[in-house]
A = this chain, B = another copy of it.
Amino acid sequence: MAEVGGIAAERLRSFIERIERLEEEKAALAADVREVYAEAKSTGFDVKTMRQVIRLRKLDRDDRHAQEHLLDLYKLALGLEG
């Protein structure tokens, strides 16, 4: 592979290794999340319900951000302040 494509092969390898590194970090964080859930569960909390709470809180956060932009978008859609 080293001589196939020359420079391009090196660039490709670089991109792929960057991605793999990032994915590893993501996987490590996912493991951390699992640990926290496990700890919470052992403390007596219900994991399934916690997941729902977290999902809903995320919706809330997204919604807050949504609100901040909605009026601006209406104005834009109406051709005001464009």
Contact = CB atoms under 8 A, between A and B. Distances in A.
Main SS of the interface on chain A?
helix
B74 A12 contact: yes
B36 A15 contact: yes
Interface residues of A, number: 53
Nearest to A51: B19
Chain A to chain B: the 3 pairs with minimum beta-carbon distance, closest first: A63-B63, A5-B78, A56-B66
Contacts of A44: 8, 79
Given A29-B29, A32-B22, A53 B73 contact: yes
A53 to B, nearest CB: 5
Contacts of A23: 33, 54, 58
A74 B4 contact: yes
